[in-house]
Structure 1
């Protein structure tokens, strides 16, 4: 759900618009409500296309087509007009999951639910066919599950019975695996084509996978025309119901009434959509949508205190939160999807391109000073930016003037910038493919790291981003809870933390199935990554938040001691005291880093390196200008890089403990940070960014 932008109408007919549900190459679908608070999905043709008489006629024909179907099993058209030269259609707003979403989340439907799905969809198709229409695009994404039963949506390509399937050259006339053989071949189609599709939908619902698959679209289409469906996942007791639908000869397929009767649906079928996990989600979505639209009801559309219809404005957060971090599905008359779900649609937000290739820099000389690869780039970063974040071929940071920016790691040129986010919550890499941060309303937002292309968003009430891997993002909410959001955009769990996270952002590390947190008071807690359950606590480890380092089944903690702890149980394996008592402000251990099985950490004014068993791996290297708060060392090539305080700069120390350090001088005494990847060290010095070579 996106907020209204420049050029978006505020009102169409009786509907006040509050957000954008989706958009594509031909138009937009808005979330709207009339003065009584009744919600609607309002579909509008883009202004630049409204002058095209053919498109306008096609658009309005869709409304007439959907209005002709009065079945309870479809989404109703509420209104359709040509206003100011722009046609729009308002239809029922359905706040339920689609069939494909439900199966992906909860697995195949049980026997009784499949039978009721078959009965309901067959009756709906009977009503559609009675009007002389053929739907032509029956598939799981076009079936919405509500508390009143399944609803069939998207009449965008519906045509009169026996209409010819016309397509442009190279355009696929059907959804592969669900369109009938005669559709694939571009022949005239009748109601029997919808029955083939119904069989494919029921097989998917019962088995959890499509009946026709293939490595290429052409292979799937070939199997539809010449092959047999794979019904191995469909329970034996349901195969009699779906098998006749797959007949190659349209005349041999059953009628909708025959499917409905053969389904032998259970009594009181309405309870199936109100029970279990699926029923709970349907209730949650519908109740949330009701609460949203209730805020818009009232005698006046707007008032001086910024309310709509006597209730508060529908903000982006409220729109997103209607599904607890999911998506409010809108059916546009049964026709929202004819541009949103086809070749000219925007990219799938969960379709993430492969990770960009990283070209590592050649190692520099171990003698002399570090070579400057590019920069310094003056005044490009926000003075309060968190450390730079290398993500394959870009490095990300908080940009001067607000938002985040990404620069190429090879030459420092700007790759992309996003201005409408707040970086106070931090930013993370998700599987080296996405960058995640949050906006001012606490919405978790993601972008493709290499291009800046926006991807999925979740209203997760982000207070601080903690850690991420390729499967999930872990965060602290604005009210101090821990939350896990999967990379499918769904909230997996929300838990109260085992200790208070107040006072600032905790330092976090993720690994070996655990999230390890160190709070502002220096207490450490570990929770299980899969469910947020407490694993163990360790009080008084440090004087402040120090990030842990995880390697295999061991977590290493800095602070008053350097401790190695078993990550599953919290059992201490070994501990090492610092060179000076930790009661002094400039003593103790800094946050550790693990590389190649060796633990690196600052111990007062020395860089120490230890084996996994706590024994010394190399001689300590004395560092002149380091004082807390320390940052984790960055290990690249044969060197370990640290941030020094005062006017020293950043230094690369030999991993072997033998040889001279290299120091890149930074004249001022302003906050600085670094990160390293691909044989490059990226340094943020206040508002300046530069890259150095390593040795």
Structure 2
């Protein structure tokens, strides 16, 4: 907690205020205790607002709305006095840490925790909507993670569903990255608006950021919420359809809280003995509990998130978060409370596997440690002023594409040239720090996908591809899709035979999302070769170099397209990742089966089981230059991985090589492979990059400079004699020579 200053009250109603937890536009929140020892969170209105009769009415309605809500996943109101000299409201103090700070400190939540979070938020909204209230500000900072489940707090801008608003007509109040499109445009709201915020909040918990990006001015964020599709790459495959439905632009297409709960209940639940929170987050919660119970008079420090900022209010000074500050207070208490924590969270420590005489599970390979593999020498590392979600190494430069411009970096990492999108009326398809394919090389030119740059005064948009010379950043050209109503390009799956293949979001500014499509652009003429309309969100693409076919896929099915963009076949399959080898499609499904398909018919040529999947935008397999060998990762009985070289025509194993252990918790981005410059590269779950000999899989060198970074935030590319890695969170780009020297 923060110490009480001269302007802070020392008591409110029956509660002694022990320190300030946080502050926002409406007032401050304090940790309070009653004479009987009950701990509460007390919101006290600022003195200058207390004298405003209209604001008192708003606060009175907030109290009334919050009093209506009672549920296992909310923090109930225990006392209030909206007519006091300084109006106040007390809610039960939740022994937990905010979702926002838990993710910031420890990274995205694992799949089991995400499922319980989703169900808990839906339970909370069920109670909120049952009381005829709309929350209107559900976001990671208003979700607390407790040992027995999440809690939704702060009804400061809530609204009764009978139309009694707490804000002036037309005002847009809330947190931009988590608003619904109808809230962002000032329309009337229904409970479905909270479901959109639920989807954004769960996506944040899975990805570590808002699905619409957190960067830029509020107007830019709101524009993306209204007109672009969310980035859900890091959301587990089984939850992705639900979250995508929550984030539908049309409120009528979103599920109800009850439907969300029913969806989650169909899957596996975490063991009660293990708890639902990751160990690191649970440890923080235990620290909070230790502090709250160990000392009757905790030393002053500060607990809650940075304050909520209303878009129509001035910026508020952010303060330390709940986790950071309470752990400062907990330093002494943890010495006593920490003993036994690991046992409580991890159970009895048994692995549940049968070990052989060597201590390994029966049939598991002997696994090298990797300690003797030499460290690769970093050629250069630079920090860019913006996120680079894709790096391209070709033509003597490393090209990096941001939302607003492209950088060309030379062999020393120095900027050789830049191209600003605004100079050519283009905004590139970059949303947040998730790696994605938005650019590709054809000969000596780089092509990047985007949209005609919109303004708040003119929202007209069209998918656009910008081309630039790799050597000097000159000879810029643009091509725009004019054969279908659309609001911009999302991805560029690749270039083949002089055609760029671009994923496009269909719609108009008035009806932003009506479907998706693939645009085949002839680069020489800058004319459309063909356009394929596809209604569901497209997430899978494969472009075989020796075929005219194209594979596209959504969450439920795959579709094969011919050379003219017509549908050749469809198959219902839940794919985790797709790729291409020679003239064939490669598909890894959720069961761990990797299949090679004929592009003309979709017929299975061969398959192999036990393949590690879930690659991020490709990389589940790698292929040698002539397409004769396919490299994949196979799961071993000890939980580790082996690299396998498979004959692309028959699927027969040429060799397998056990890989060193990752020494990291499993990542949502597991199988990542690249082949270039006679070197096979693998990024493991701990973000260590291994350079391997493609002849036998033996390690040549490794690079540990990104170790500990979330691999889902790392973009990489190999070619032109170098390996490049972009840390999209730190906005840094590093390069190593292919030989590691």
TM-score tier after normalising by the smaller chain length: 0.3 to 0.5
TM-score by length of 1: 0.43
Report which of the two structures shows the higher radius of gyration computed on alpha carbons.
Answer: 1
TM-score by length of 2: 0.41
